[in-house]
Structure 1
Amino acid sequence: MSNLTRIIENRDGSALARMAGSAPEAVKMVNPEAEKLVDALFRNLKQVFPAAVNTTFRDPNDEVAAKRQWIAAFAENGIRSREQISAGMQHARASESPFWPSPGKFIAWCKQGAIRASGLPDTAELYDMVMDYAKRRGLYAGPEAFPWSSNAAYWMVTKLYSEMRGLNLSESELLKHCGKELAAMAKRVEANEPIPAPVVQIPKLHIPVSNEKGLDKIAELRAKLNMPRKPC
């Protein structure tokens, strides 16, 4: 499995092009190592989906064509990391169906697993996380000190908490904001974008404040950031 991910990560263009070809001559030109790697992946999947042996791949030519299409689909959809493929296999083992999945289905499993592995909850779970943070945030020196389950959770929850307070969101409105925030973060995860670790944040004020409250907020931020007070 690790060799397969290496081939995908390296994006061996010539090998992928030959694997994706439909002519019988293209099959004969495939790099022997790449052919062995795809064989290993399919052997693993056959153990999970035994019905494929006598149905989907009854004709050996069908299996050869399927291998070409799977490699091409991985390259086209950015499935190139060991974690993604492992996540896909985890979903495959949990599947209740004994039948072989389409490459699109397996790719979706890879992406879903990678998202969950990155700590992304569903909408209801994210809402509960915001409520828990609102209740317990005062026990910690700052947002960055809160016991976050992941970097992604930190960025989503702190942003949603700020919006909830600043915009005075109702429960239904906050749930909608949770859904949008999850969708945005999922795109970042799918793109393999690194999610930064928690850092000290300057709160965003969404509503006007009085001059006195504004000065108090500045003093609070200076104290948190260990900045000296300005002389009067």
Structure 2
Amino acid sequence: MKSLVTAIQQRDGRALQAMSNSVPLQQAQPVREHTAQVFNELFKQLRATFPASMANFKDQEDLNEFKRQWTKAFAENNIRTIDQINAGMKIARQQENPFLPAPGQFIQWCKQGESLAVGLPDEDQLYELYREYCKMRGWREMKWPSNACYWMVTKIYSEMRSKSLTDSEVIKLCAKELRSMTARIKSGETIPAPVKQIPQLYIPTSKERSLEHLASIRKKLNLNPKSI
């Protein structure tokens, strides 16, 4: 604290900058170390699942660069738990391609695997549910796979209508809603049942009411329609 006061009093810009930079670096260090530990677990599983691809690294420098890029991608996309890694590896083992996936592809598998693990659809399946809802809405009741699907699809539909979203924007919204719902379910939240939607009733305007009233008077008085 004394050094901070001194730096302010002396208007030492370099000292203040060094202090401000030191805080985020200290806070970020444990995050990087934890992400590296998660990657080490992944590396073991990747070697077992893709032995041929892992053997293609020429030297230790190649392996170090591979580790740097994947660890950075994990930190940027909040992949920090063994459960996330296991979810991604479950999908990775289902692939017919014998080559290592790109870090972005594996991160997508991690997030998709998390959703599947709690009983939610993947992004493509959620988008198809949304499209089905768009077709059915207003003339027959949708059969929802789960309460969570109801809330996600109806929210996506509402956002699409209110913001005039394009298909590509809706697809991104599907991914966002899946991540949000996955987090809610993993936290132990109970997702409520669908709300019975009340059909929208036709309410005539003031002008229509006036015309209907005039028509009623003509009919009662047996008058010519043009007489009033």
Scaled by the length of structure 1, the TM-score of the pair is 0.51
**Aligned counterpart in structure 2 of residue 187 of structure 1, from 165, 176, 180:** 176
CA contact (8 A) 2:152 2:177 kept: no
CA contact (8 A) 2:147 2:193 kept: yes
Point out which structure has higher relative CO (alpha carbons under 8 A, 6+ apart): 1
Question: Structure 1 residues 186 and 53 mapped into 2: Cα distance closer, same or farther (>3 Å)?
Answer: closer
Q: Please, which runs of 5 or more residues in structure 1 have no aligned partner?
A: 1-11, 20-32, 138-145, 168-175, 212-232
User: Which protein has the larger Cα radius of gyration, Structure 1 or Structure 2?
Assistant: 2
In the TM superposition, residue 87 of structure 1 has moved relative to its aligned partner by: 2.5
Find the aligned partners of 1:197 and 1:38 in 2 and give their Cα distance.
Answer: 36
How well do the aligned residues superpose, as a CA RMSD in angstroms? 4.2
Question: Structure 1 residues 178 and 66 mapped into 2: Cα distance closer, same or farther (>3 Å)?
Answer: closer
Residue in 1 that maps onto 2:103: 103
Letter in 2 for 1:149: P
What is the SS of the residue equivalent to 2:192? coil
Q: Give CA deviations for 1:155-175 in whole Å, capped at 9, x if unaligned.
A: 24556899xxxx9xxxxxxxx
Question: Structure 1 residues 82 and 200 mapped into 2: Cα distance closer, same or farther (>3 Å)?
Answer: farther
> What is the identity percentage for the equivalent residue pairs of Structure 1 and Structure 2?
35
Find the aligned partners of 1:159 and 1:78 in 2 and give their Cα distance.
Answer: 24
Find the aligned partners of 1:116 and 1:85 in 2 and give their Cα distance.
Answer: 14
Question: Structure 1 residues 116 and 73 mapped into 2: Cα distance closer, same or farther (>3 Å)?
Answer: same
Residue in 2 that maps onto 1:84: 84
Q: Give CA deviations for 1:32-89 in whole Å, capped at 9, x if unaligned.
A: x97665333211111111122321x231232233223322211111223455322311
Question: Structure 1 residues 184 and 14 mapped into 2: Cα distance closer, same or farther (>3 Å)?
Answer: same
What is the SS of the residue equivalent to 1:119? coil
Find the aligned partners of 1:44 and 1:70 in 2 and give their Cα distance.
Answer: 14
Q: Give CA deviations for 1:189-231 in whole Å, capped at 9, x if unaligned.
A: 23555274225355474x74359xxxxxxxxxxxxxxxxxxxx
Scaled by the length of structure 2, the TM-score of the pair is 0.52
Residues paired across the two proteins, number: 165
